[in-house]
Amino acid sequence: MPKDTITPPTAEALAQDVLAHLQTTLAKRQSSATDHDWRVALSLAIRDRVVTPWLDSLQRTSETGGKEVYYLSLEFLIGRLIEDVTINLGLEDVAREAMAQLGQDYTALAAQEPDAALGNGGLGRLAACFMDSLSTLGIPAHGYGIRYEHGLFEQHFQKGVQVETAEAWLAEQHVWEFERPEVAYRIGFGGHVDYDAEGRATWHPAQEVIAQAYDTPTVGWQAKWVNTLRLWSAKPVVHFDLAAFNRGDYIGASASEALARTLSRVLYPDDTTEQGRELRLKQEYFFVAASLRDLVRRHLKEGRALSTLPDYAAIQLNDTHPALAGPELIRLLVDEHGMEFETAVKTARACLGYTNHTLLPEALERWSEGLMKHVLPRHYAIICLLNMASLDETGTAILDHGEVRMGELAFVMAHKVNGVSALHTELVKETLFADLHKAYPDRIVNQTNGVTPRRWLHSANPALSALITETIGEGWVADLERLRELEPHIGTAAFDARFADAKRANKAKLSDWLRQVHGASVDPDAMFDIQIKRIHEYKRQLLNILETVALWNDIRDNPNGDWTPRVKIFGGKAAPGYVMAKSIIRLINDVGATINADPVTRDLLQVVYPENYNVSMAERLIPACDLSEQISTAGKEASGTGNMKLSLNGALTIGTLDGANVEIREHVGAENFFLFGLTAEEVRQRRTKPGHARSAIEASPRLKRVLGQIANGLFTGGEARYGDILGMLWDSDYFLVTADFDSYYATQREIDAAYRDQSDWTRKAALQTARMGWFSSDRTISGYAGNIWNAASLL
Ligand SMILES: *Cc1c(COP(=O)(O)O)cnc(C)c1O
């Protein structure tokens, strides 16, 4: 049967399936079913419809011998799946109707699914968007990662201070996954290496755990293709090898148990600092080793020679976290399959691609040579050989000051290295890998990030999605550049009114949610000004909150002025050990408490910071945004993807020339983008000026007043609480908050004026949507497929 003619079930049929699962899978009668039972039964009824296209896709891949993409990522920031899967199957109306027939509310049930947060932020969410696009495009692929028992911590505020609690998405059964007890590999750590007379190495690990697979099908648009997300869970060897246990090896057995308990227990919550922890290195090796074993086994099972692996496998490394894939693949080929070393290096390199995600020096992974040698002695020996070869050929060292530099390792072992926005890729060539780039001028390429329109427009913003479909048909969902067809309609009274209505409805929905869940009362007619992302100094939430205080001052000085009412919405978590970021969170909350209580400004300015920003919250906030804050210090944000989601949903951007902002501005038009601040080059120069921060503050009475108010305890009941922030701003200000303040403030006032012309604002907002089609992750994945993977669609 051609896959695109699968007819959807009727609501009655789906309701029957739900009841069948309720009874036979959950052993519940309708009368005693809880909301949880209903949701699980519905999810399973929907999941059933993924299985056939999934098995068909796997079979077709095997039959055609198509090249497979293996996307190795330590993070997949997935979010909820029920709506995503339902929408891709085209079942949202049927599901809603079926549940209504059963007396249940589909939307309410869907909102109860735990949010799978197996990632920190942009990098993990990119991996999830890529899985969606790989399936939509019909490119055979496996995503490989770790099935963390605890995803990213939950954030709570106690008196404005971030506190973290453990997240427990697996406390209840994860309905979308299939446990694969038969797909299990022994993964070793430590021990020593023996060499025989011919120099052949044998690694004798001191410790072993089992990596066991759990598969989640990832459905593409209209279920024409389904790929697999295979996540590894660590299990102790004892259960696997009872014989060793019976021989009396209790100590070895319990060591494996202890390691297995911790290995896949928790996601590291630092997205931008590497602390060189042994467990983290073991996590990285664990999932890389299991994934490579798995793909090599698949290759051999098809009866193919290992020398042809590059014809069948494209292995993409999402940042350096999986960079051990180079040495591990060499080890497999040489030690376990007898390939000659040089050939193995060439074979591995032909398979591997590496995506760089950051220029921040503190985020670049380095491991002490001692630790590497201790945990992975054979890999360390291979890295030493690669280091010598690299010094020979390029003059660049992988081993440096007693450390293994994972960026350099990933670079030399990849046939292509890519940056994630045009600006970022140029900076990678000029700064981070300048020497390697000289040696291999064709290796670095750009693939600007994208986001999946299925989740980030069609599913998250049904009001706008319906308007688009009514205007230009449904084709845009899988061909986002067709949003351009909206342009002739923009500026007509009928379309603009409906676009404005959709935005207004989304804002009303968000303000209801903010009232119910967060006790905040905001006016849906005010401008919704949103900054949602991890809290980091380079992302400059501090700049935003300082400007908020300055605006508050100016309104109080002139309460009858022509002000534009604003709601400043913040969302984001700080790494638990990042003291400055946590201080910034507390400052935002302190300022918010003071401003929100001020009767003079109450109708003009509000600050809202709902706790625990995650994918599900992003789906609520993004459709309701008027103004998107993308204000990082130029040269620091590799790409950003939040910027794309917001603009795609009709938000205008205030932003610096950083990351993908540059390309967004080119696409939407400079006249529809609020640019401010120093360029990356100006930032570099400015930093070299001694006392640059102090002189910027002295030159800005507005900023100086704000800093004085914070110093005097205006927001802290007289307590001096923010000496750390103030000291940093006066004395160093590496991220140039002070230098950009006046430019930012002035641009915000231009935005106030622009917002007062609502019909022009709506026109500009609609143009964002119409012109953002290029930022689909489908386009990004087509780029990887053509320029890096040489992989084709099997649709
Ligand atoms: C998209 C997304 C991000 C990335 O946001 P940036 O603004 O690009 O840093 C982070 N977290 C979540 C939950 C997201 O959905």
DSSP summary character for residue 258: H
Kindly give, in sequence order, each residue whose CB lies less than 8 Å from that of residue 301, ignoring residues fewer than 6 positions away: none
Spatial separation of the C-alpha atoms in residues 610 and 79, rounded to whole Å: 17
For atom 15 of ligand 1, the residue with the nearest CA is: 615
Give the 3-state secondary structure of residue 270. coil
Atom of ligand 1 nearest to the CA of 532: 7
Residue entry with tokens 């119910």:
516
Measure the CA angle with vertex 635, ends 634 and 637; round to 5°.
90
How crowded is residue 126: how many other Cβ atoms within 10 Å of its Cβ?
27
Active-site residue (options: 80, 357, 573, 582): 357
Give the 3-state secondary structure of residue 138. coil
Kindly give, in sequence order, each residue whose CB lies less than 8 Å from that of residue 650, ignoring residues fewer than 6 positions away: 464, 499, 503, 765, 766, 768, 769
Report which of 467, 457, 465, 504 is spatially closest to residue 489, judged by C-alpha positions.
Answer: 467
For the chain, 795 residues long, the average pLDDT of each consecutive 10-residue run is 61 97 97 97 98 97 94 98 97 97 97 96 98 98 98 98 96 95 97 94 96 98 98 84 63 74 92 78 98 98 96 98 98 97 98 95 90 98 98 96 97 98 97 96 98 98 98 98 98 98 98 95 97 98 98 97 97 97 98 98 97 98 98 97 98 98 98 98 96 98 98 96 98 97 98 98 98 98 98 97
Distance (Å) from CA 697 to ligand 1 centroid: 31
Distance (Å) from CA 311 to ligand 1 centroid: 34
Q: Any catalytic annotation for residue 573? A: no
Distance (Å) from CA 741 to ligand 1 centroid: 24
- Three-state SS string across 470-521, please? HHHCHHHHHCHHHHHHHHHHCCCHHHHHHHHHHHHHHHHHHHHHHHHHHCCC
DSSP summary character for residue 77: E
Give the 3-state secondary structure of residue 216. strand
Q: Burial letters for 5-28: b for 16+ Cβ neighbours within 10 Å, e otherwise? A: ebeebebeebbebbbebbeeebeb
Say if residues 428 and 356 touch (Cβ distance below 8 Å). Answer: yes
The H or E element that residue 180 is part of is strand 178-189
Atom of ligand 1 nearest to the CA of 644: 8
Q: Any catalytic annotation for residue 539? A: yes
Distance (Å) from CA 360 to ligand 1 centroid: 18
Spatial separation of the C-alpha atoms in residues 760 and 756, rounded to whole Å: 9
Q: Any catalytic annotation for residue 159? A: no
pLDDT at position 1 is 37
Atom of ligand 1 nearest to the CA of 639: 8
Question: Ligand 1 — pocket residues by CB below 6 A?
Answer: 121-122, 125, 533, 614-615, 618, 640-642, 645
The pair phi, psi for residue 218, each rounded to 5°, is -115, 115
For atom 6 of ligand 1, the residue with the nearest CA is: 642
- Please report the beta strands in 399-439, taking only residues with DSSP state E, as ranges in sequence order: 399-400, 403-405, 416-419
Q: Any catalytic annotation for residue 641? A: yes
Spatial separation of the C-alpha atoms in residues 154 and 168, rounded to whole Å: 9
Active-site residue (options: 373, 405, 533, 573): 533
- Report the Cα 100 to chain-centroid distance in Å: 34
Active-site residue (options: 645, 687, 763, 771): 645
Q: Any catalytic annotation for residue 645? A: yes
Spatial separation of the C-alpha atoms in residues 520 and 568, rounded to whole Å: 12
pLDDT at position 263 is 95
- Three-state SS string across 284-342, please? HHHHHHHHHHHHHHHHHHCCCCHHHHHHHEEEEEECCCCCCHHHHHHHHHHHHCCCCHH
Kindly give, in sequence order, each residue whose CB lies less than 8 Å from that of residue 717, ignoring residues fewer than 6 positions away: none
Measure the CA angle with vertex 319, ends 315 and 321; round to 5°.
90
Residue entry with tokens 């802290």:
716
Active-site residue (options: 235, 293, 366, 534): 534
Atom of ligand 1 nearest to the CA of 618: 15
pLDDT at position 2 is 40
Spatial separation of the C-alpha atoms in residues 374 and 498, rounded to whole Å: 63
Residue entry with tokens 């389904």:
226
Spatial separation of the C-alpha atoms in residues 457 and 463, rounded to whole Å: 10
Q: What are the chain's domains?
A: 453-775 (3.40.50.2000)
pLDDT at position 243 is 64
